[in-house]
Amino acid sequence: MFRNHLTGLLCVALLPFVFSVAAQADDTSIVRQESAAEPGRIFLQQVSFDSAMVKWRDGPDTIWFGKKPGALTQNVTASVDAQHKIAKLQGLSSDTNYYYAFQKAAPEKAVMMFRTAPMPGAVPEDGNTHIWLLGDSGTETENFAGRYSHKGEAIDVMNGFLKYNASQAANEPLDLLLLLGDNAYLEGTDEQWQGAFFDIYTDIIQGVATWPTIGNHEMGVGLPFDICPFVKIPTCEAGPVMMNVGGISESSDPDSYDSDGDGPDASGFPYLNIFSLPSKGEMGGVPSGTEQYYSFNYANVHVVSLDSQLTNRDEALRATMRDWLVDDLSANTADWTIVIFHHPPYTKGENHDSDREQAEIDMRVTFAPVFENYGVDVIYSGHSHSYERSWYLRGHYGMSDSFDATRNALLDVDGNPALGQGSEPYEQGGAQNRAVYTVAGNAGKADEKKPCPEGQVMGCTLPNWLQHPAHRTFTDTAPGYESNGIARKGSIVLDASKSTLTSRFVDEHGEVLDYFTIKRN
CA distances from 17 to 14, 57, 189, 222, 250 (A): 9, 12, 8, 21, 24
Cβ density class 231-258: b for 16+ within 10 Å, e for less: eeeeeeeeeebebbbbbbbebbebebbb
Q: What is the CA radius of gyration of the chain?
A: 22
pLDDT at residue 21, rounded to an integer: 27
What whole-number distance in Å separates Cα of residue 93 and Cα of residue 125? 13
| 3-state secondary structure at position 98 | strand
Positive or negative: CA dihedral 489, 490, 491, 494: negative
Q: Distance (Å, rounded) from C-alpha 446 to C-alpha 448?
A: 6
pLDDT score at 232: 66
Are 187 and 10 in contact by the 8 Å Cβ rule? The answer is yes
Q: What secondary structure does DSSP assign to 244-293, as a single string?
A: --BT----S-GGG--SSSSS--TT--HHHHH----TTSBTBS---SSTTS
Tens place of pLDDT for every residue, the chain, 521 residues?
333 333 333 322 222 222 222 233 333 333 333 445 899 999 999 999 999 999 999 999 999 999 999 999 999 999 998 899 999 999 999 999 999 999 999 998 899 999 999 999 999 999 999 999 999 999 999 997 788 999 999 999 999 999 999 999 999 999 999 999 999 999 999 999 999 999 999 999 999 999 999 999 999 998 887 878 776 678 888 888 888 889 999 999 999 999 999 999 999 999 999 999 999 999 999 999 999 999 999 999 999 999 999 999 999 999 999 999 999 999 999 999 999 999 999 999 999 999 999 999 999 999 999 999 999 999 999 999 999 999 999 999 999 999 999 999 999 999 999 999 999 999 998 668 999 999 999 999 999 999 998 878 888 999 999 999 999 999 999 999 999 999 999 999 999 999 999 999 999 999 999 999 999 98
Residue 211: what pLDDT? 98
Q: Is the dihedral of CA 120, 123, 125, 129 positive or negative?
A: positive
Q: What CATH topology corresponds to 129-519?
A: Purple Acid Phosphatase; chain A, domain 2 (3.60.21)
Q: Number of helices and strands (H, E) in the chain?
A: 8, 27
How many Cα atoms are found within 13 Å in the side-chain-facing hemisphere of 416?
Answer: 7
Cβ(205)–Cβ(177) under 8 Å? yes
- Would you state the pLDDT for residue 23? 31
How much is the pLDDT for 224?
83
Q: Please count the other Cβ atoms lying within 10 Å of the Cβ belonging to residue 397.
A: 15
Q: Find out whether 35 and 146 touch, Cβ atoms under 8 Å.
A: no
Q: Hey, what amino acid is at 29? A: S
Distances, alpha carbon 375 to alpha carbons 163, 178, 253, 517, in Å: 33, 20, 31, 16
Closest listed residue to residue 383, CA positions, set 350, 358, 355: 350
pTM listed for this prediction = 0.92
For residue 364, give the H/E element and its range. Answer: helix 358-373
Contacts of 93 (CB under 8 A, 6+ apart): 50, 67, 116
Tell which residue, 109, 89, 99, has the closest CA to residue 38.
Answer: 109
Q: How far is Cα 235 from Cα 230, in angstroms, rounded to an integer?
A: 13
CA atoms of 481 and 479, how far apart (whole Å): 6
Kindly give the pairing relationship between strand 436-440 and strand 378-381. Answer: parallel
CA–CA dist 440, 22 (Å, integer): 40
